[in-house]
């Protein structure tokens, strides 16, 4: 037997669980059942792919056993199991991207409700068992390895030893904390209580969950096992959707919006998609996962199916169940399959149109959506030219019109002055910086509204997108902003003549630093400003490229 130490981040998370900062302890069971269900999915998949794998798949199921006298609760599955290395790396450490940031944020958060939000977003999985147990024992065997037993009180170290005769799959036994008199509701040795939790959190799990509901009785199946996406929408409650969302997303919060889709005909499929209410911590990290789950005829095929959701909609969660694919379908096949490409197109259109309808039907949900995911969605303006207009139609931007509220492009166009041809924008690091920029002065004087674009991605798409409803996007920091009437132009010409000598002198004097010195009408109070050529990089882009070492 060996004693090993938890990785430090894991230790911190365990401390959080032991001191139980999360108020709803019932959720530990959801995590265990969810892991067991995943393990059964994985085993079935492995046996499809590898015919030589020695594993019994005749009765895949989850079993829950309660021992009142010894105060133990066991969740057992005969799924894929774990090797010794798996146990050490999966249970002893937290490899999830964003863990460090998560812990940092949590440490800084004083408010209990905000902490819960954060934890929900992170999802704590297996460690949640330490909310209700003072010792956890896990016995597991992978079909290609010897069995192992892992045990810990959650206090810094765990033990691990070989168990050659362990059965296939994983059994997690919780040694429940002493009964809490005040907390009779949380009696996890009560089979009625366990049945209730399973019904609430895991009814849709497609594997049978068995439990003996009375002493000495035969175990019976306690979940209804119905795939939510195959049931008529009218029959599924919001709570059921929310539970399912938690299962697929590992996010404890409610989804912002639920989307259902049904396609009949030659290529039949059903989709149940969710838009989260909060961006995950790793939304902009390179190693983040994306994509929805793919099922074929109710059978789980893969997680994170990137072929079904573009990068810029990476936050969309859910399930797509296709009727006409082979169970052996691989990533390579998916990438080439025309039906899959069509399906993806329709899913994307559906997500975008759902957001569009939020704008009118649920403006608050829309505002949340755009605040959380707008910066990611705008990437689609570059990567998905086909849906450019649809994306522009659901976009919102800061603007000089209103410091409190963002504007859509349609609203901007509606407010455009009669003599205004273009949609003016200025990019920069922050609203304050842009607002104090001398570039804005002339437009302000004219009463023209300017969009304030502060996301890094804004620099990229404004160049690629030609316009919105026939109006061009025009940077106020680039080239000659043509704001003058004929009369003003004549006046300017006169002034240019007056200043010709002076300008020539300035141009020679500053030759090393600027291309040209010219009189401008864009300034009203500042004496001078530096502008780029129409084809030059904007100041922010220039900075970005410089930061990247170019
Ligand atoms: P998550 O499920 O979000 O990955 P968990 O903390 O719930 O995080 O579990 C960590 C990992 O441990 C899982 O991803 C899985 O690889 C492994 N694991 C947990 N429970 C089981 C189980 N019953 N059978 C096989 N592997 C498991
Ligand atoms: Mg889990």
DSSP codes of every residue in 44-105: HHHHHH-TT-----TT--EEEEEETTTTEEEEEE-S----HHHIIIIISS---TTHHHHHHH
State the Cα–Cα distance between residues 225 and 210, nearest whole angstrom. 12
Is the distance from the beta carbon of residue 249 to the nearest atom of ligand 1 less than 6 Å? no
The pTM of this model reads 0.71
What separation in Å is there between the alpha carbon of 90 and the centre of ligand 1?
7
What tens-digit pLDDT sequence spans the chain (550 residues)?
A: 999 999 988 998 888 888 866 677 888 998 899 899 999 999 998 998 898 999 999 999 999 999 999 999 999 999 999 999 999 998 988 877 778 888 888 788 877 777 776 776 676 789 999 999 999 999 999 999 999 999 999 999 999 999 999 999 999 999 999 876 656 667 999 999 999 999 888 888 889 999 998 888 999 999 988 889 988 989 999 999 998 998 888 888 899 999 999 998 888 999 999 999 999 888 888 777 888 999 888 878 888 899 999 999 999 999 999 988 877 777 888 888 888 999 999 999 999 999 999 999 999 999 999 999 999 999 999 999 999 999 999 999 999 999 899 999 999 999 999 989 999 999 998 999 888 888 888 888 888 999 999 999 998 999 889 899 999 999 987 755 555 556 666 776 777 777 778 777 777 787 777 777 776 655 666 666 666 665 565 555 565 555 554 4
Pocket lining: 80 vs ligand 1, CB cutoff 6 Å: yes
Other C-beta atoms lying within 10 Å of the C-beta of residue 287? 9
In the reported structure, the alpha carbon of residue 137 is separated from the centroid of ligand 2 by a whole-number distance in angstroms of 16
Atom 1 of ligand 1, residue of closest alpha carbon: 125
394: number of Cβ within 10 Å: 22
Ligand 2 centroid to residue 194 C-alpha, Å: 18
Q: Are 213 and 221 within 8 A, CB to CB?
A: no
Helix (H) or strand (E) holding 431: helix 431-435
Atom of ligand 1 nearest to the CA of 127: 6
Binding residues: 31, 35, 77, 82, 96-98, 121-126, 170, 331
Residue 317's pLDDT is 96
CA torsion sign, 335 to 336 to 340 to 346? positive
Nearest to 366 by CA among 375, 357, 379: 357
**Closest residue CA from atom 27 of ligand 1:** 35
Q: Which residue has the tokens 């599955």?
A: 77
Cα–Cα dist 463/71, whole Å: 65
ipTM over 0.95: yes
DSSP-derived secondary structure letter, 286: T
3 state SS of 226: coil
**Which ranges constitute the DSSP H helices of 362-387?**
363-377, 380-383
CA distance readout (Å), 337 to 257, 294, 419, 518 = 29, 14, 50, 57
Q: Is 170 in the pocket of ligand 1 (CB under 6 A)?
A: yes
How far is CA 83 from its chain centroid? 30
Name the residue of 81, 126, 172, 205 to mutate for ligand 1: max ligand atoms within 8 A of Cβ: 126
Residue to probe by mutation, ligand 1, list 6, 33, 90, 174, most atoms within 8 Å of CB: 90
Q: Atom 4 in ligand 1: which residue has the minimum CA distance?
A: 125
The answer to whether 67 and 215 are in contact (CB under 8 A) is no
**Probe ligand 1: pick from 35, 122, 142, max atoms within 8 Å of CB?**
35
Alpha carbons 283 and 298: distance in angstroms, whole number:
29
Residue whose CA is at the smallest distance from ligand 1 atom 16? 90
| Measured distance CA(490)–CA(492) in Å, rounded | 5
- Residue ranges with CB less than 5 Å from ion ligand 2: 35, 125
Determine whether the shortest distance from the Cβ of 243 to ligand 1 is under 6 A.
Answer: no
- In terms of Cα–Cα distance, which of 438, 416, 415, 434 is closest to 426? 434
> How far apart are the CA of 516 and the centre of ligand 2, in A?
62
Q: Which ligand is the nearest neighbour of the Cα of 75? A: 1
Residue 125 Cβ contacting ligand 1 at under 6 Å: yes
Q: Is 77 a pocket residue for ligand 1 (Cβ < 6 Å)?
A: yes
Cα 119 to middle of ligand 2, angstroms: 14
Q: Which of 445, 449, 441 shows the shortest CA–CA distance to 412? A: 449
C-beta of 126 in contact with ligand 1 (< 6 A)? yes
**Residues annotated within a binding site for ATP:** 31, 35, 77, 82, 96-98, 121-126, 170, 331
Which is it for strands 402-408 and 299-305: parallel, antiparallel or unpaired? unpaired
Q: Which ligand is nearest to the CA of 94?
A: 1
| pLDDT at residue 550, rounded to an integer | 47
């Amino acid at each position: 037997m060996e004693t090993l130490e938890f990785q430090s981040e894991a230790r911190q998370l365990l401390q959080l669980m032991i001191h139980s900062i999360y108020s709803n302890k019932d959720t530990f069971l959801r995590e265990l059942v969810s892991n067991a269900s995943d393990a059964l999915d994985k085993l079935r998949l492995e046996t499809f792919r590898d015919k030589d794998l020695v594993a019994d798949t005749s009765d895949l199921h989850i079993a829950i056993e309660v021992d009142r006298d010894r105060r133990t609760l066991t969740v057992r599955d005969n799924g894929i199991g774990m090797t010794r290395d798996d146990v050490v790396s999966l249970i002893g450490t937290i490899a999830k991207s964003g863990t460090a940031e998560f812990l940092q944020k949590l440490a800084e958060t004083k408010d209990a409700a905000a902490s819960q939000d954060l934890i929900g977003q992170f999802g704590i999985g297996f460690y949640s068992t330490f909310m209700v147990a003072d010792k956890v024992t896990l016995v597991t065997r992978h079909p290609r390895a010897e069995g192992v037993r892992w045990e810990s009180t959650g206090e810094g170290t765990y033990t691990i030893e070989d168990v050659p005769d362990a059965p296939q799959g994983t059994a997690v036994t919780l040694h429940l904390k002493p009964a809490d008199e005040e907390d009779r509701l949380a009696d996890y040795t009560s089979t009625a209580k366990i049945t209730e939790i399973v019904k609430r959190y895991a009814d849709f799990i497609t594997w049978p969950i068995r439990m003996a509901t009375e002493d000495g009785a035969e175990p019976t199946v306690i979940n209804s096992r119905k795939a939510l996406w195959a049931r008529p929408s009218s029959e599924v409650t919001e709570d059921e959707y929310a539970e399912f969302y938690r299962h697929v997303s590992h996010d404890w919060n409610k989804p912002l919006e639920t989307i259902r889709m049904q396609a009949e005909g030659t290529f039949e499929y059903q989709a149940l998609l969710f838009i989260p209410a909060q961006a995950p911590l790793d939304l902009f990290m390179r190693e983040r996962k994306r994509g929805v789950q793919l099922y074929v005829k109710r059978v789980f095929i893969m997680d994170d199916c990137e072929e079904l959701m573009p990068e810029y909609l990476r936050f969309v969660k859910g399930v797509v169940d296709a009727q006409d694919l082979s169970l052996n379908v691989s990533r390579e096949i998916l990438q080439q399959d025309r039906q899959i490409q069509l399906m993806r197109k329709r899913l994307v259109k559906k997500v975008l149109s759902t957001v569009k309808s939020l704008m009118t039907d649920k403006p608050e949900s829309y505002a949340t959506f755009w605040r959380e995911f707008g910066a990611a969605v705008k990437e689609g303006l570059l990567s998905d030219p086909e849906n450019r207009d649809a994306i522009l139609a659901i976009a919102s931007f800061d603007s000089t019109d209103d410091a409190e509220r963002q504007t859509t492009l349609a609203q901007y166009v509606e407010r455009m002055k009669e003599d205004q041809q273009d949609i003016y924008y200025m990019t920069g690091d922050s609203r304050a910086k842009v607002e104090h920029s001398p570039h804005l002065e002339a437009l302000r004087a004219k009463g023209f509204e300017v969009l304030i674009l502060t996301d890094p991605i804004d620099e990229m798409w404004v160049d690629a997108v030609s316009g919105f409803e026939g109006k061009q996007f025009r940077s106020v920091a680039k080239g000659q902003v043509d704001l003058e009437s004929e009369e003003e132009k004549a006046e300017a010409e006169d002034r240019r003549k007056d200043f010709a000598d002076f300008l020539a002198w300035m141009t020679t004097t500053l030759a090393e630093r600027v291309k040209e010195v010219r009189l401008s009408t864009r300034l009203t109070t500042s004496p001078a400003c530096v502008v780029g050529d129409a084809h030059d990089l904007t100041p922010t882009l220039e900075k970005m490229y410089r930061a990247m070492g170019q």
